[in-house]
Structure 1
Amino acid sequence: MTRSLDIVFLGLSLSSSWGNGHATTYRALIKGLRQDGHRVLFVERDVPWYASHRDLPSPDFCELAYYSDIGAMLERHGERLDKADAVIVGSYVPDGVPLIDGLGALGLKRLCFYDIDTPVTLAKLDRGDEEYLALRQVPLFDTYFSFSGGRVLTRLEQRYGARRAVALYCSVDEGRYANTGEPTCWDLGYLGTYSHDRQPTLERLLLESARRLPSMRFVVAGPQYPAEIEWPANVERIEHLPPADHASFYSRQRFTLNVTRSDMIAAGWSPSVRLFEAAACGAPIISDFWQGLDELLPDRNALFIVRTPEDVVALLTELPDSDRLAAAAAARKLVMSSHTGVARAGELARSLSNLSANPAFDRISA
């Protein structure tokens, strides 16, 4: 274990999981940090769409603070920010560019970025979209922690000027995600907020399969789906599923579907938090393909990679239960050994501690 660290996160949201996957990612990571004896303050912008959907307003594993004005927030938390071993800004933070500029002017010990949307971020930067991060700011960070690994890390350093790019995948809260033992309700399900670039895959793999298998039961959980979508009669809709109900949801599926955003497919090595959560619950996973997936969770051994509705229909109608359950058990074993919040917290703490030993960061211990 590394020495105890004091870390401040400025992220999209910890208090609300509504319409985002960031909250559960932060929760697993910060719980792991707390378990290892580290101290964390999480600061998030107080916005109405999360304020009205807060499912964790008072976490017991870290301090949580809200702000409306960047300048006032920096003044209020100035002493804590100055003394922190690391200040980590997350992707998609509202008004992220002026926030980062404000933090950069403080001369902090370590200023880092945690990109939970790396392929999306880089695609935005390539087209001049600086919604929450400016291209000029990438070299400001002592470490650029990336949701994506593999070749993306080299690209971050060589093309975008990151000083040090490190993979920090999402993780699962092993205390909350496990099979509940409930009876099966659905043959195939999907959990995810609507995304225009994921929708064609969801249409092709789940909705079309539902049309071809009218006697089977399907479910899609998540908010913001357009009203004009034509759902087959055997597809149940759940508008919002809070994290407290995720384990039950996954446990009641014969298979669960993982669908990946197009930017993340192009980048590869971008496992979503939903992938790890489903595996931790013992749900057999059907997934679209991206580079690196079958190295994290081997195809036909720990999950089932599909490309067409025919592939999905064949799994739902022909795969023996023994093969289905064996893959689920293998996926759970891999995730629980390497992709829990505790495991990821250890990676983060070691990476932050190693910065002080790097001559390029002598100013940290000055």
Structure 2
Amino acid sequence: MKLVVLGLSLSSSWGNGHATTYRALLRAFAGRGHDVLFLERDVPWYANHRDLPNPDFCRFALYRDLAALGEWSDEIAAADAVMVGSYVPDGVAVGRFVQDTARGVRAFYDIDTPVTLARLERGDREYLAPELIPGYDLYLSFTGGPTLRTLERRWGSPAARALYCSVDMDAYRPSEVEKRWDLSYLGTYSPDRQPTLERLLLEPARRASHLRFVVAGPQYPADIDWPANVERMDHVPPSEHPAFYAASRFTLNVTRADMVRAGFSPSVRLFEAAACATPIISDVWPGLDQLFEPDSEILLADTAEDVLAALTEWPETRRRAVADRALERVRRSHSARRRAEELESHLLDAMTAASPPGRELAVAQA
């Protein structure tokens, strides 16, 4: 199968979660024998922070603007499937170009589905317009559950399917290192996540000065009052994520408000931490119990007291048992290899679906 992907970024993980998602998924997809071309808009904020400029699992190219994207028309037209991602610069124009040019399956991969739908409701067309949704044969969503029905019934998607994030099990694995922190958090600053971070990490840090905490990620405002026992790290590149998690007794998962409301919206950090056998404390939202079993594979927390109970009262045997069960769940259900199988299946289903009159699908036997 020949797949062309137009995504926010593959080359830079700075300030976005898209790059790690694409890297894990497309490496595994290529590993199944498929040919992948990734096209990325050349923008200065990623140009200055490229940590994977030459991926070895796919062809990769930068384009400077919409006019330059036209140079790839033949590749897009000949592909068995073309996938446009969320938050692609000039995404509406890119989507129109793909829908006009591609002869194979045209898919939209939404790594930000609840945010996207909230934007559409208020008329925001930054990277997706309502009239484009029916023109995508397949809407692949980071959010599952009831949102998939909404995409089909409210917005006219012919086929909305969950394609959650995943983890590269070859890159993320357990390791025995000295524990530097009792609780860690890895994530870019977001105003709607900050109240939960305050409740589930900063407040426990204030109450337990003998414990060690860390918050890693860019763009946090300078006026945040960090407790003395909370270490700050501006950026941890993906290559250092496993060591970061391994050095944490527990790690915290905090979900954006739109994702909490929609439910069924796991963060890649959940799967990465579990793959490193680091037990996870998470905020609570619908659908999480279908990804990990509460109290057995993950700890759910509403209050600072919930967090402190785990940090100060759990015996080491329980901590390790939860981590080991989460690791097995990820191996079984949330690895990049598993997601690549799901992507392949969704694309093949779309290829064999009835095509609109007058449109020829460039379907190749996978």
Task: Establish whether TM, by shorter chain, passes 0.5.
Answer: yes
**Residues 9-60 of structure 1 deviation map (CA, whole Å, 9 limit, x = unaligned):** 0000000000000000000000101110111000011111100000000010
Which aligned pairs between 1:273-312 and structure 2 lie closer than 5 A?
A: 273-312=268-307
Letter in 2 for 1:133: L
Bigger drift between 99-108 and 261-270 goes to 99-108
- Give the one of 238, 250, 257 matched to 2:233: 238
Determine the C-alpha separation between the residues in 1 that align with 2:90 and 2:266. Answer: 27
> Shift of residue 363 of structure 1?
3.3
SS of residue paired to 1:364: coil
Relative to structure 1, the CA distance from residue 272 to residue 31 in structure 2 (aligned partners, 3 Å threshold; closer, same or farther) is same
> Shift of residue 360 of structure 1?
4.0
Report the TM-score, using the length of structure 1 for normalisation.
0.97
**Residues 177-230 of structure 1 deviation map (CA, whole Å, 9 limit, x = unaligned):** 012211111000000000000011001110000000001100000000000001
Determine the C-alpha separation between the residues in 2 that align with 1:127 and 1:310. Answer: 38
Aligned to 1:120: 115
> Shift of residue 356 of structure 1?
2.6
1:257 paired to 2:242: no
Determine the C-alpha separation between the residues in 2 that align with 1:189 and 1:225. Answer: 16
> Shift of residue 323 of structure 1?
1.3
Which aligned pairs between 1:184-333 and structure 2 lie closer than 5 A?
A: 184-333=179-328
Letter in 2 for 1:34: A
Which aligned pairs between 1:53-72 and structure 2 lie closer than 5 A?
A: 53-72=49-68
Determine the C-alpha separation between the residues in 2 that align with 1:360 and 1:257. Answer: 45
Determine the C-alpha separation between the residues in 2 that align with 1:298 and 1:107. Answer: 42
Letter in 2 for 1:350: S
> Shift of residue 82 of structure 1?
0.9
Letter in 1 for 2:139: Y
Determine the C-alpha separation between the residues in 2 that align with 1:162 and 1:56. Answer: 33
> Shift of residue 107 of structure 1?
4.4
Aligned to 2:26: 30
Determine the C-alpha separation between the residues in 1 that align with 2:78 and 2:321. Answer: 49
Determine the C-alpha separation between the residues in 1 that align with 2:120 and 2:235. Answer: 31
Determine the C-alpha separation between the residues in 2 that align with 1:335 and 1:95. Answer: 35
**Residues 62-85 of structure 1 deviation map (CA, whole Å, 9 limit, x = unaligned):** 1111011112212x1111111101
Identity of aligned residues (%): 57
Residues 13 and 19, structure 2, Cα contact 8 Å, conserved in 1: yes
Q: Flag structure 1 segments of 5+ consecutive residues without an equivalent.
A: none
**Residues 224-253 of structure 1 deviation map (CA, whole Å, 9 limit, x = unaligned):** 000000100000001010000000000010
Aligned to 2:100: 105
- Give the one of 124, 130, 153 matched to 2:125: 130
Letter in 2 for 1:250: Y
Determine the C-alpha separation between the residues in 2 that align with 1:189 and 1:40. Answer: 35
Letter in 1 for 2:17: G
Determine the C-alpha separation between the residues in 2 that align with 1:356 and 1:343. Answer: 20
Letter in 2 for 1:127: R
Bigger drift between 213-222 and 344-353 goes to 344-353
SS of residue paired to 1:77: helix
1:156 paired to 2:151: yes
Determine the C-alpha separation between the residues in 1 that align with 2:53 and 2:285. Answer: 35
Q: Flag structure 2 segments of 5+ consecutive residues without an equivalent.
A: none
Letter in 1 for 2:361: I
1:336 paired to 2:331: yes
Letter in 2 for 1:144: Y
Determine the C-alpha separation between the residues in 2 that align with 1:270 and 1:202. Answer: 18
Determine the C-alpha separation between the residues in 1 that align with 2:351 and 2:204. Answer: 53
Determine the C-alpha separation between the residues in 2 that align with 1:310 and 1:29. Answer: 37
Determine the C-alpha separation between the residues in 1 that align with 2:140 and 2:360. Answer: 20
SS of residue paired to 1:44: strand
How big is the alpha-carbon RMSD for the aligned residues of Structure 1 and Structure 2?
Answer: 1.1
Determine the C-alpha separation between the residues in 2 that align with 1:173 and 1:345. Answer: 11
Aligned to 2:169: 174
SS of residue paired to 2:360: helix
Letter in 1 for 2:174: N
Report the TM-score, using the length of structure 2 for normalisation.
0.97
SS of residue paired to 1:237: strand
